[in-house]
Each structure stands twice: as structure tokens, then as C-alpha cells.
């Protein structure tokens, strides 16, 4: 396919979440032109789960509801989740509309980074917030990824493994920071950021889900934090 667009998306599925892919046209298109979009779905361990292809009028935003195709995704970190490779036949932008609980976010395709590159996500520690760090591996081999958190004068670091073509999610506060000797971040809202750097020839992307307490009927709010 000429001028095709390929992106790697982290997706989640029932019972707690749902994901919808949006295919947005860029620029003008010829009358009657179409966009073909293929999706390959992989489980957290990189096992191929399903694949399909759809076609849309090129001037419209294509909407792909993933729920019928992701019911077999495995659970990790309390979420059923996986990795989708989205390939469109022309120059488009791919977005993912994530519903987590009763809340919605629309996120652009995360940036893939290779060895000697880094991806950053700003976040706030403490203040009753919790974070899930999701790493997606676009390579054909296991990825070793360095995750480093910066806040105040502290900078703890961990090395995580992500299966080939798979993804891995860890709880920042409950799993990673639980083994760190500093707990000052628990005393209030502390500004910080996470840096992710893959080793060897792997290509990875990061997405972070933040959970915040809310007043009223909806006791918790979720949102997806974008990397840069």
C-alpha cells in the first residue's frame, strides 16, 4: 500500500473497559476514494488473537468498535488488555477512544521509541492518585525497558521485560514504589515524571492510566496520560 499509515495501540476490553479505533482522514481526497484499515490483535504475551480488515469512505472518520474482537484478551493489572497493529491504506491519523469505568478519553497513537531514545510522561504522585504504567512492544523479540521516575531529588529506576508483540502493565505505587525506601510522596501531591528507555533493538511505547478519587456518585475518575 502506498502512503500507508501504521500505528501500534494499547487497547483494553470488557468487563471494565472498551476501546474504539478512530481513523481520521488528512487533507483532501478524491471523490469515491476509500480507506482500507487492517487490525492485528495480540494478547499481553504477544500471541495473535484476531485480525480483520474494514473499508470506509476516505472523507469520513472511520469507527472500529473492538469489543467483538477482544473478548479473549488476558487480564493484567486488573484490566483485560492487548496490542493492536493498525494499518491504513492512506495517510490518516489513528486515535483510540478508551472507556475506563464510566469515563472516556480519546488518545492519539503513542510514539514508538527505539534504543537510545526516551519517552516521558508527567504525573502527580500522592494526593490519593494511583497509576498503571502500560508498556507496548512492537518488536519481534522480548524488550528490556528501563523505567525511571523523577520527583524532588529522587530518581528510582527499574528494568521491566515486555513480551515480543505483547504488552505489560504494572502498578506504579503498589508494585514499583513499594520496594523503594522513600515514602515522602505519600504526604501530598508531588509533581514528577516517568522516563522510559528501551534497550537493544526493541521498539516500545508507553501509556499511563491515572486513577483519582472523586466526590459524588462517581467515586473514582480515570484518565489516560500522554507520552512525549
Above 90 in pLDDT, residue 44?
yes
Confidence (pLDDT) at 171: 94
Residue 219 confidence class, pLDDT cut points 50, 70, 90: low
**Which pLDDT tens digit goes with each residue over 137-189?**
999 999 999 999 999 999 999 999 999 999 999 999 999 999 899 988 988 88
Q: What's the whole-number average pLDDT of the chain?
A: 91
Q: Pick the more confident residue, 35 or 211.
A: 35
> What pLDDT does 77 receive?
82
Peptide bond into 15 cis (omega under 30): yes
Taken in order 197, 199, 204, 208, is the CA torsion positive or negative? negative
Q: How far apart are CA 18 and CA 35, in angstroms?
A: 24
49 vs 128: which has the higher pLDDT: 49
> Which pLDDT does position 1 carry in this prediction?
43
Domains of the chain plus CATH, in order, are 5-108 (2.60.290), 119-225 (2.60.290.11)
Q: What is the pLDDT of residues 86-144, one digit of tens each?
A: 999 999 999 999 998 778 889 999 889 998 899 999 999 998 899 999 999 999 999 99
The rounded distance, in Å, linking the Cα atoms of 136 and 84 is 10
Whole-number pLDDT of residue 127: 84
Is the CB of residue 159 less than 8 Å from the CB of residue 145?
Answer: yes
Rounded mean pLDDT, 52-76: 95
Q: Is the pLDDT of residue 203 over 50?
A: yes
The pLDDT of residue 120: 93
Residue 222, Cβ density class (10 Å: 0-12 exposed, 13-18 middle, ≥19 buried): buried
Strands 220-225, 157-162: pairing is unpaired
Amino acid at each position: 500500500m502506498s502512503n500507508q499509515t501504521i500505528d501500534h495501540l494499547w487497547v483494553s476490553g470488557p468487563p471494565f473497559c472498551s476501546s474504539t479505533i478512530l481513523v481520521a482522514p488528512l487533507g483532501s481526497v478524491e471523490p469515491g476514494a476509500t480507506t482500507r484499515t487492517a487490525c492485528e490483535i495480540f494478547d499481553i504475551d504477544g500471541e495473535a488473537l484476531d485480525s480483520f480488515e474494514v473499508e470506509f469512505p476516505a472523507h469520513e472518520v472511520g469507527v472500529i468498535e473492538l469489543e467483538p474482537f477482544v473478548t479473549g484478551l488476558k487480564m493484567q493489572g486488573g484490566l483485560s488488555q492487548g496490542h493492536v497493529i493498525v494499518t491504513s491504506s492512506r495517510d490518516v491519523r489513528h486515535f483510540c477512544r478508551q472507556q475506563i469505568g464510566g469515563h472516556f478519553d480519546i488518545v492519539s497513537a503513542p510514539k514508538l521509541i527505539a534504543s537510545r531514545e526516551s519517552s516521558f510522561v508527567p504525573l502527580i504522585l500522592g494526593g490519593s492518585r494511583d497509576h498503571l504504567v502500560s508498556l507496548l512492544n512492537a518488536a519481534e523479540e522480548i524488550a528490556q525497558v528501563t523505567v525511571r521516575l523523577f520527583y524532588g531529588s529522587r530518581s528510582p529506576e527499574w528494568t521491566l521485560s515486555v513480551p515480543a508483540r505483547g504488552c505489560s502493565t504494572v502498578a506504579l505505587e503498589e508494585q514499583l514504589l513499594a520496594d523503594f525506601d522513600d515514602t515522602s510522596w505519600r504526604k501530598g501531591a508531588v509533581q514528577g515524571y516517568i522516563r522510559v528507555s528501551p534497550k537493544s533493538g526493541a521498539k516500545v511505547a508507553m501509556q499511563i492510566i491515572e486513577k483519582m478519587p472523586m466526590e459524588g456518585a462517581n467515586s473514582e475518575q480515570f484518565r489516560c496520560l500522554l507520552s512525549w
